[in-house]
Chains A and B, each alone.
Chain A
């Protein structure tokens, strides 16, 4: 067991955890932040993408202890009260989600993509989301959502 402390969605958290616990398990099962999903076991699907110190990461491929002292943001932490993050709003407006399972990871990946490259092209979006699988939408509306979200984030 290791004493782990980090900040999650702006709140300090601290627990004694097994050394081999994955960050995604810590978020889902210890903190009950079940918005971060698990869709595979080979770091392919991206349903578990979160931000660690503002950089997107697949939380299924990070040990919880590696996030010691870090600032972690999950899908639960990006809206401001009732106001959705511009990227969340864009996914709603463009019908960028169906079953919603990939959506948290998709939104978290998209936010970082736009932060890294505010003027990104359709091709940049498609290549940038290569690590996030969606089985429902055919990506058409996801690409439109990221374009719309990027515009809104530039204005915000």
Chain B
């Protein structure tokens, strides 16, 4: 069977998953090995004054109990932040690392005080109860603004006032001057003050680990978004040679960012397995995920924009307070700074912009990338600003955006904060989605909702994303004597359908029988390095497979010519068959692979390829939403949802729209439901799925998804990337619609019933 590019090919991943034969981490050796349980600090900020694990050591079934002292005695390394920025005054940000278990100071509730390894999980959990830990608790701080106040609890001596970094990008002075000058000229200054609340990625599979030692070597099974970065960090921390540690990732039950990053438990379990010399497994409970996974978002942002009378933005200043949590995770600093700034001006032509970002430590779990990773935060700011400007200047929200959008004739368009948008027609897309969403019919639908006792609102958002950069383009292609081919690929499928997409590309380029193509990922010692993240699978890895296939075609042509006894130039490849021109002599590529296989050496057509894209990709699009709010209960319900995106060339519409739809649900979750809430002592108030509301089937309507594509100029396939777009576009569109329904200018995320009620009470009081 041959798969073409651009077809809605059904996924090759599905069958094993549908019959219960998936191999997720916890499915490895089910029930075997010793079990791990962790003692976690109940305090968010405290000194661990004493720890007595002796009673646990002698408890039934216990193999080992350990604390930081034991790991420190073995010189186990700590977790490092992998990318720092410099302060805007030129000073270097002090480096701090995170030990796997508490050394002395507790900085968030849930940090690990001790671990127990026992024959059964129940025994491990029972033994945990016997450990005596004494703490001197201290006042905690969870909110970024509170952390800056005089007298606020201090987390680290090297971060005075809890400020890790104070970074600036763009032309901050120019933006301030531009705003001052515009004000002096009588232009309006519009201000927004918004919340990007703290979220849990909440992949349905948690973050288990299975560790199997073998002499000096160790095999770890864990869910990841590419095992190589975790393998290198764990090997370094444990003082192992790179080839002694093998990290394997099988099926992954969702990633969304956090499964890229090193977490404390991975070091603990890997260390314990080597110490004991036996298989050790940890099954992370959901409640532990809330306490110990790195979290997402958690920014407070203020922005000021000077606008002329037509609503055109003249200058914009942005100030972000980014919550780092209690320690600096792998990409924790990168996300609100270098990631967010890339698309600060979005799809709009704004020439004077500056951004200041302060990274602030608080007594909460660390924050790192979650779907979109800085770009949803930046886009939400821009779109809220648009709605505020529209309200202030009494300009239609659609028209206001149209006036500020980058015009097709300005493309390629160099953004003042970053890259050059290579392709697109933003106003054209906006006009077309307005048609598709039947904005003209909204008034009639609103009247119908009114008649049923419901407010109805119309909302929109635009977005522009920058993706398709970074590594992860490696593919090692091996042909076998039976005609099958294995693509050892970088990155890691977490449900996106990598195997299908890469099979499609390879099959399309060579006409290769898709049934003979096997894609393998997730082996740190065999598959090329690089993670999945930043919506770059198709543009980087897909282009790599496409390029490799083209190079293989050239090599194969020579072999085919030799086989057919003609000159290279007289052989052509079509539909997977090499034919000597002017003859009826031909050979299929699969047959050629069989015939040219060597007895013991590698196949002559084998090839390693590592494609690097010539530039980033710039998908953009629009979401238009209609929402109803029951006047008696304030329950919101999204009733119409239309999207239109420019994703460049499309490889597989079926999986592409799947990505959009999933991203939308996560964005709707952020807008209306999800929130990791902390009290003033640093206790998590929404620490289970009974308290933290993930969107359910009845929270969402059917989704009407469209594309209006212009091929990307910066990679071989002309693709732009769709993995994060839904999560970027949805939050501002939902809030825009909700504000329109309620007749207010702003409501903060998550717009829960409580928040809606308060906003409506304030509106009533003001009337």
Do the beta carbons of B19 and A79 come within 8 Å of each other?
yes
State the CA gap A65–B24 with chains docked (Å): 27
A33 within 8 Å of B (CB atoms): yes
Do the beta carbons of B666 and A95 come within 8 Å of each other?
no
Do the beta carbons of B494 and A92 come within 8 Å of each other?
no
* Residues of chain A contacted by B17 (CB below 8 angstroms): 97, 100, 103
A40, A47, A92: the one contacting B18 at CB < 8 Å is A92
Size class of B's contact patch? Answer: 35 or more
A42 within 8 Å of B (CB atoms): yes
State the CA gap A85–B690 with chains docked (Å): 32
Do the beta carbons of B31 and A42 come within 8 Å of each other?
no
State the CA gap A104–B495 with chains docked (Å): 15
B764 within 8 Å of A (CB atoms): no
B432 within 8 Å of A (CB atoms): no
Closest to B704 in A: A140
* Residues of chain A contacted by B665 (CB below 8 angstroms): 135, 137-139
State the CA gap A102–B24 with chains docked (Å): 12
Do the beta carbons of A93 and B10 come within 8 Å of each other?
yes
B252, B253, B655, B695: the one contacting A95 at CB < 8 Å is B655
A35, A39, A88, A132: the one contacting B286 at CB < 8 Å is A39
Do the beta carbons of B662 and A97 come within 8 Å of each other?
no
Do the beta carbons of A88 and B661 come within 8 Å of each other?
no
* Given A45-B689, A103-B17, also A35-B22 (CB < 8 A): yes
Interface digits, A28-55 against B, CB 8 Å rule (1 contact, 0 not)?
A: 1110111111111110110100000000
Do the beta carbons of B13 and A100 come within 8 Å of each other?
yes
State the CA gap A140–B664 with chains docked (Å): 10
Do the beta carbons of A138 and B700 come within 8 Å of each other?
yes
B18, B27, B122, B497: the one contacting A98 at CB < 8 Å is B497
Do the beta carbons of A40 and B10 come within 8 Å of each other?
no
A119 within 8 Å of B (CB atoms): no
B13, B689, B700: the one contacting A42 at CB < 8 Å is B689
A29, A33, A132: the one contacting B20 at CB < 8 Å is A33
* Given A33-B20, A130-B696, also A99-B254 (CB < 8 A): yes
* Residues of chain A contacted by B661 (CB below 8 angstroms): 137-141
Interface digits, B650-661 against A, CB 8 Å rule (1 contact, 0 not)?
A: 000011001011
State the CA gap A10–B252 with chains docked (Å): 30
Q: How many residues of chain A have a CB within 8 Å of chain B?
A: 57
Interface digits, B177-213 against A, CB 8 Å rule (1 contact, 0 not)?
A: 0000000000000000000000000111110000000
* Given A142-B697, A143-B697, also A44-B658 (CB < 8 A): no
B614 within 8 Å of A (CB atoms): no
Query: Majority SS of interface residues in chain A?
Result: loop
Do the beta carbons of A135 and B13 come within 8 Å of each other?
no
State the CA gap A91–B15 with chains docked (Å): 10
* Residues of chain B contacted by A28 (CB below 8 angstroms): 26-27, 30-31
Do the beta carbons of A76 and B700 come within 8 Å of each other?
no
Do the beta carbons of A137 and B662 come within 8 Å of each other?
yes
B30, B285, B697, B703: the one contacting A125 at CB < 8 Å is B697
B404 within 8 Å of A (CB atoms): no
Do the beta carbons of A133 and B654 come within 8 Å of each other?
no
State the CA gap A99–B24 with chains docked (Å): 10
B251 within 8 Å of A (CB atoms): yes
* Given A35-B20, A42-B286, also A132-B697 (CB < 8 A): yes
B566 within 8 Å of A (CB atoms): no
Interfacial residues of chain B within 674-710, with CB under 8 A of chain A in the complex: 688-690, 694-698, 700, 702-703
B24, B655, B690, B698: the one contacting A101 at CB < 8 Å is B24
In whole Å, how far is A152's beta carbon from the nearest beta carbon of chain B?
Answer: 14
Interface digits, B117-159 against A, CB 8 Å rule (1 contact, 0 not)?
A: 0000010000000000000000000000000000000000000
Interface digits, A80-94 against B, CB 8 Å rule (1 contact, 0 not)?
A: 000010001001110
* Residues of chain B contacted by A142 (CB below 8 angstroms): 697
* Residues of chain B contacted by A84 (CB below 8 angstroms): 15, 18-19
B562 within 8 Å of A (CB atoms): no
Interface digits, B617-656 against A, CB 8 Å rule (1 contact, 0 not)?
A: 0000000000000000000000000000000000000110
* Given A98-B495, A138-B726, also A126-B253 (CB < 8 A): no
Do the beta carbons of B702 and A29 come within 8 Å of each other?
no
Closest to A98 in B: B495
Do the beta carbons of B286 and A95 come within 8 Å of each other?
no
Closest to B667 in A: A138
* Residues of chain A contacted by B287 (CB below 8 angstroms): 41-42
Closest to A32 in B: B30
* Residues of chain B contacted by A98 (CB below 8 angstroms): 254, 495-497, 658, 662
Closest to B120 in A: A18
State the CA gap A40–B204 with chains docked (Å): 8
B21 within 8 Å of A (CB atoms): yes
State the CA gap A35–B17 with chains docked (Å): 8
Do the beta carbons of B204 and A133 come within 8 Å of each other?
yes
Closest to B31 in A: A29
Do the beta carbons of A74 and B20 come within 8 Å of each other?
yes
State the CA gap A28–B663 with chains docked (Å): 31
* Given A40-B286, A84-B19, A141-B661, also A95-B11 (CB < 8 A): yes
Interfacial residues of chain A within 93-126, with CB under 8 A of chain B in the complex: 93, 95, 97-104, 107, 122-123, 125-126
B14 within 8 Å of A (CB atoms): yes
State the CA gap A84–B13 with chains docked (Å): 15
A150 within 8 Å of B (CB atoms): no
* Given A35-B21, A133-B694, also A91-B666 (CB < 8 A): no
Do the beta carbons of A40 and B688 come within 8 Å of each other?
yes
* Given A42-B688, A42-B690, A99-B203, also A92-B20 (CB < 8 A): no
Do the beta carbons of B253 and A100 come within 8 Å of each other?
yes
Kindly list 15 other residue pairs between chains A and B, CB separation below 8 angstroms, not including A34-B27, A99-B495.
Answer: A32-B31, A37-B204, A39-B204, A42-B690, A47-B204, A75-B19, A84-B19, A101-B205, A101-B253, A127-B697, A129-B696, A129-B698, A133-B689, A139-B696, A141-B661
Nearest first, the 4 A-B pairs at minimum CB distance are A35-B20, A99-B495, A101-B253, A100-B17
Question: What residues make up the interface of A, taking CB atoms closer than 8 Å to B?
Answer: 18, 20, 28-30, 32-42, 44-45, 47, 74-76, 79, 84, 88, 91-93, 95, 97-104, 107, 122-123, 125-127, 129-130, 132-143
26 A–B contacts from the bound complex (CB under 8 Å): A28-B27, A32-B31, A34-B22, A34-B26, A35-B19, A39-B286, A42-B287, A84-B15, A93-B10, A98-B495, A98-B496, A99-B204, A100-B495, A107-B18, A123-B698, A126-B696, A129-B697, A129-B698, A130-B696, A134-B697, A135-B256, A135-B694, A137-B658, A141-B658, A142-B697, A143-B702
